[in-house]
Amino acid sequence: YEKGPMILTSNQSFGSWGDVFGDRIIATAILDRVLHHSVTINIRGNSYRLKEKMKAGLIRADEPEVNN
């Protein structure tokens, strides 16, 4: 902790981490430590990987988004 840089990526918003860990209090404690002195970059938009599948006709653009 605080010894070197760390990159952490997730496809879940911070608000849903309680569901990810199964415990809101644990998720809050983890986020408190991870986000201390952090730079957060939130990238929104269409998936680069899905774009290729749409071009190939494997999926349709109007299919609903799935959040796991």
21 assigned to some structural domain? yes
pLDDT of residue 28: 95
pLDDT tens per residue across span 39-60: 999 888 777 778 888 888 887 7
38 assigned to some structural domain? yes
52 assigned to some structural domain? yes
Q: Report whether pLDDT(1) > 80.
A: no
pLDDT tens per residue across span 11-35: 888 999 999 999 999 999 999 998 9
Alpha-carbon gap, residue 17 to 28, rounded angstroms: 8
Q: Which domain covers residue 26, as residue numbers? A: 1-63
68 assigned to some structural domain? no
28 assigned to some structural domain? yes
How many structural domains is the chain composed of?
1
In sign, the C-alpha dihedral spanning 32, 34, 39, 44 is negative
| C-alpha closest to that of 19 among 30, 8, 31, 27 | 27
Global pTM reads 0.59
pLDDT of residue 26: 95
32 assigned to some structural domain? yes
